[in-house]
Structure formats: C-alpha cells, structure tokens
C-alpha cells in the first residue's frame, strides 16, 4: 500500500480494496520500523490517527466522500494542532501543546484526512538542511549521510521514504521546494495569501506560506485544493475562489511559453545538475512548449535582501517567546532580567539566535533606513523583474537547488554558504509568487529538482505543467534503496 500515490490510495479506499484503518496501521508500523534511520517524525499521534481513520471508514461506507477521505498524512510541526505537541523543532516549545487547530489543520481534518504525526524541521523553520532542529538532524533517505534540505526536511524525507503519501510544509525562502528537490518529491509553495497562515507559527510573516509535499503533481493538486481558501482570521489571506487544480492537470502544453532566466544557469550551478535540467527542458519542448531565454536582472540581490527582511521579521515574531508569555522557562531565575536572558538563551538554538540578532540590528535606530528599508526597496525591484518576465512567458523554469544534497555537517559552520543553497528559491518568496519543484533526474544517485515559477494565483498552470512532465518521465516514481 505504501507504494501507491495519494490518488491511487483514494481510488482504492473508494473501491473497498482496503480500509483507512488498515492503511493507517500499515503506515504507523512502517514509521515505527523505518523512521529511526531518518529521524523525520517528532511526534506520532497513533490513537488520534486510528480514531480519524475509523471515522473516515464510516464516511466511506456512506459513499459521501472527498479525495482525501481516509488518506493518512504527516503534518509539519509548525502547524498548531489541538492537544498535540507543536514544537517548531525547538527546545523553546518542547512542552507546548497547542490549545487550538491551525486553519490548515482544520481544513485537512474536515476533508477527512488522517494525521499520523508531526514532522521534524529546522528550528522555527530557520535553516536549509534540517540540522538546526532541537531533536537532531533529519537524514536523506537516498543517502543517510546527507541532508534532506530544510526547513521542511522531515516532511520531504518521510514522503520520499514512503512513510506517508503526503505531508504539509511551509516555505519562507524555499523550505518546501528545496527539500522536495533534495529528496526527489513534488512540493508546491502557493501564492502568498492562498493558504491561511492562521495557527502556523510565524517565522517571517510577509514571506511564510504553507503548502503540500507529495510524490506527484496530481497528489499535490488534491492536497492544495483542501488546504487553500480564504480565512477571515488571517489578515493576509486573499478572498478569491480556489481553482479546480485536478481538473486542469490534463491540458496539453502546446504553445505554453516557458522562460529560462540566464541568471539561473550561470556560475554556481553544478554542471551535472545543469545537464539534468537541460534534459528536462528538451522534454518540455517535445510536449509542445515554446522555450525562450529571459532575464531576471536583480536575482543576485535576492539573497542579501532576504537575509535582512526575514531576520527582521523573525526578531519581532520571536519576541513573544520570553519564558513569561510563551515558551521554555529557566530554573530559579534571580530576577526578571535573568529570567528573560536565560530562558531565551536556553530555549533558542544558535541559528535562531543569529537571525534574531541580525534582525534586531537591522531594525535598530540609525540602521533601519540603511538596511531594512533598502531591502524592501530591492524586494520591489525583484517583484518587478518577475512581472516584466510574465509579460513575455507563461512560466519560468530553472533548477531548484544549485547542487544535489550535501553531506551532514558540510556547511554547518559556514552560514553564508548554507544560505546560498536557496539562491534560486528566495526571490519567489520576496515577490509572493507560486513556485513548484519536481524530480528531474539524478546525479551520483541523488535527486535533482526542477523548479517552475508561475504568475500570481497560477497554481493550476504550474501543476498542469508538472503533471504533463511526470506523464513522460519516471523520476517521481523512484524509491530510495531500503525503503521500497
């Protein structure tokens, strides 16, 4: 059962080939047996999952079901889940049980999906390798000595290893797409405001966006349809109807205009990764797409702009975790200052502290205009680059990551080199656009990800282009050795 896609499992459940409870027990046992090798799951919610599965089976018996009824999934541990530990991969929230459900949690439950547990992640979603988690690093199922990417590395590794057919993720600067690329799965970051952020613990509020991580574009379409939609509790949520993503998958790509940014194919791109992307471009030509070169001239400014904006927003968002209102509290504080200093010092890891310090500095008197304001101005230039490009093309194509998965610890002592892992994904968040990563080959046994970028609210076209590519390739069907 674990080798079936979400769509295949849904068909099997409706046909009565197996029950949701049987499927759920199978996957729970698989997690228990295989996840110690990966460390992808922080909390297993076995009793809750089985109760949800039985409820789904009752609905299946009536025939009144949706695409996700009875489908097990894993939830990134950044979405609040009533009565379940929601840790954000941090000691700061190690003992926090959310008193309510995030909107995404509510929506998936209403769709009949079965939550198996919560996945490991970079602490407060800050990282590109899933090595900053308080619970230890996640390992890539394709090579256990390599990273799965981050911050949604637990979700990516679990889906790649067939521990669940789908998982949720969040993407602030590439944290769905980059781990999807490094683990050989499909991941989509929707347009900013398409998926509610209510109950999703904030890192950088103007950049964060939730989305699905699955094996195929078809599965991602089914998940995104359940997750997306307006939420009046989220002031950044967009009041706009949700497209029928699944209905658009079968459209032919004849005449689709795809742009190739010259900035994505130059220095810094691994030659073998570049060759895999060129092969994928050839497949799109065979499918009828028209490919042309374009330019996104401010691409080089995306990383420095992001690493001012994101830390500035995180320094504000994480100020609430002080040992008084929320979070870890130190033992026997001498006074209030000692309580604050030691609680935050003990609760946060090194990368989170680094970003809080950078952000506080950028927002401080005398430096706000020079750094934060300037970064926001650059952000608008990057956004305009994309708007201009979409007057010429329908989609933009390039690599998701400049290299395959790197070794655990390889970049841990060099934050700047680590930050450059997201060089092709960050601009999408700064502009608020939708982006998607799909498997497009292998280099030395490690997956390569291809990124597609769309205009605002053009998720249906992205998923259609990804699905058509997956109809003529089998990269998305490969399984890591030992997890068959």
Among the listed residues 90, 133, 175, 401, the single catalytic one is 175
The rounded distance, in Å, linking the Cα atoms of 131 and 148 is 9
Cα–Cα distance between 148 and 144 in angstroms, integer? 9
Give, in words, the CATH class of 1-484.
alpha beta
Q: Do the beta carbons of residue 131 and residue 147 sit within 8 Å? A: yes
**Cβ atoms 42, 120 nearer than 8 A:** yes
State pTM to two decimals.
Answer: 0.96
Whether the Cβ atoms of residue 215 and residue 479 lie closer than 8 Å to each other = no
The C-alpha angle 252, 257, 259, rounded to 5 degrees, equals 135
**Residue 130 in contact with residue 430, Cβ under 8 Å?**
no
Preceding omega of 151 cis (within 30 degrees of 0): yes
Cα 453 to Cα 456: distance, rounded to the nearest angstrom = 10
- Give me the catalytic one of 40, 76, 128, 196: 76
From the list 151, 155, 343, 437, the catalytic residue is 151
Alpha-carbon distance 41 to 63, whole Å?
32
Beta bridge partners of 321: 326
384 is catalytic: no
430 vs 382: CA distance, rounded Å: 7
Contact at 8 Å (CB) between 37 and 144?
yes
CA distances from 351 to 6, 122, 206, 314, 358 (A): 35, 9, 20, 12, 11
SS3 label, residue 379? helix
Which residues share a beta bridge with 85? 97
Q: What is the pLDDT along the chain (484 residues), one digit of tens a residue?
A: 999 999 999 999 999 999 999 999 999 999 999 999 999 999 999 999 999 999 999 999 998 899 999 999 999 999 999 999 999 999 999 999 999 999 999 999 999 999 999 999 999 999 999 999 999 999 999 999 999 999 999 999 999 999 999 999 999 999 999 999 999 999 999 999 999 999 999 999 999 999 999 999 999 999 999 999 999 999 999 999 999 999 999 999 999 999 999 999 988 899 999 999 999 999 999 999 999 999 999 999 999 999 999 999 999 999 999 999 889 999 999 999 999 999 999 999 999 999 999 999 999 988 988 899 999 999 999 999 999 999 999 999 999 999 999 999 998 888 877 887 899 999 999 999 999 999 999 999 999 999 999 999 999 999 999 999 999 999 999 999 999 9
Q: How far apart are CA 220 and CA 225, in angstroms?
A: 8
**How far out from the chain centre does Cα 301 lie?**
23
What strands lie across the sheet with 209-214, from one edge to the other?
41-44, 114-119, 72-76, 166-171, 209-214, 186-189, 435-443, 446-454, 395-399, 257-261, 290-294
76 is catalytic: yes
* SS3 (DSSP) at 343: helix
**Could you tell me which of 139, 163, 158, 136 has the C-alpha nearest to residue 149?**
139
Q: Which of 460, 458, 453, 457 is nearest to 294 (CA)?
A: 453
CB within 8 Å of 296: residues ≥ 6 apart: 261, 263, 264, 382, 385, 386, 389, 396, 427
CB 178 within 8 A of CB 150: yes
Burial 15-45 (b: 16+ CB within 10 A, else e): eeeebbbebbbebbebbeebbeebbbbbbbb
**What does the domain layout of the chain look like in residue ranges?**
1-484
CA angle in degrees (0–180, nearest 5) for 80-85-90 = 90
**What secondary structure letter does DSSP report for 275?**
H
- Specify whether 151 is catalytic: yes
Spatial contact of 102 and 80, defined as CB atoms under 8 Å apart:
yes
d(CA 386, CA 344): 39
């Amino acid at each position: 059962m674990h080798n079936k896609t979400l769509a295949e499992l849904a068909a099997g459940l409706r046909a009565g080939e197996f029950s949701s409870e049987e499927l759920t027990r199978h996957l729970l046992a698989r997690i228990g047996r295989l996840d110690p090798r990966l460390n992808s799951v922080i909390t297993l919610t076995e009793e809750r999952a089985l109760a949800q599965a039985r409820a789904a089976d009752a609905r299946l018996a009536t025939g009144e079901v949706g695409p996700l009824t009875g489908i097990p999934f894993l939830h990134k541990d950044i979405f609040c889940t009533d009565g379940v530990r929601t840790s954000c991969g941090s000691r700061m929230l190690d003992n926090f049980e959310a008193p309510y459900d995030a909107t995404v949690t509510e929506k998936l439950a209403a769709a009949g999906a079965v939550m198996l547990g919560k996945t490991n992640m970079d602490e407060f979603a800050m990282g590109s390798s899933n090595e900053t988690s308080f619970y230890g690093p996640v390992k890539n199922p394709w090579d256990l000595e390599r990273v799965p990417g981050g911050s949604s590395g637990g979700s990516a590794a679990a889906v790649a290893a067939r521990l669940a057919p789908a998982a949720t993720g969040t993407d602030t600067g590439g944290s769905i797409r980059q781990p999807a690329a490094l683990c050989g799965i499909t991941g989509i970051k929707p347009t900013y405001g398409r998926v509610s952020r209510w109950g999703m613990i904030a890192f950088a509020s103007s950049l964060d966006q939730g989305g699905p991580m699955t094996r195929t574009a078809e599965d991602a379409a089914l998940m995104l349809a359940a997750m997306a939609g307006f939420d009046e509790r989220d002031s950044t949520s967009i009041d706009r109807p949700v497209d029928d993503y699944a209905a658009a998958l079968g459209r032919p790509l004849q005449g689709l205009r795809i742009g190739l940014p010259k900035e994505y194919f130059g220095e810094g791109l691994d030659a073998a990764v570049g060759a895999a992307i060129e092969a994928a471009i050839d497949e799109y030509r065979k499918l009828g797409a028209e490919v042309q070169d374009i330019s996104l001239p401010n691409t080089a400014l995306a990383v420095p702009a992001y690493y001012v904006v994101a830390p500035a927003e995180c320094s504000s968002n994480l100020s609430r975790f002080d040992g008084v209102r929320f979070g870890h509290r130190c033992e026997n504080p001498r006074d209030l200052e000692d309580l604050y200093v030691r609680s935050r010092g003990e609760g946060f890891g090194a990368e989170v502290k680094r970003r809080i310090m950078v952000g506080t500095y950028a927002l401080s008197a005398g430096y706000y205009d020079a750094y934060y304001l300037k970064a926001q101005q650059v952000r608008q230039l990057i956004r305009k680059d994309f708007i201009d490009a979409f007057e010429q093309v329908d989609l933009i194509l390039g690599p998701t990551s400049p290299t395959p998965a790197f070794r655990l610890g390889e970049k841990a002592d060099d934050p700047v080199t680590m930050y450059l892992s997201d060089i092709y994904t960050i601009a999408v968040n700064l502009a608020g656009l939708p982006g998607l990563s799909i498997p497009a080959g292998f280099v030395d046994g490690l997956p390569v990800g291809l990124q597609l970028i769309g205009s605002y609210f053009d998720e249906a076209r992205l998923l259609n282009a990804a699905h058509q590519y997956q109809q003529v390739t089998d990269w998305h069907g490969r399984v890591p050795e030992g997890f068959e």
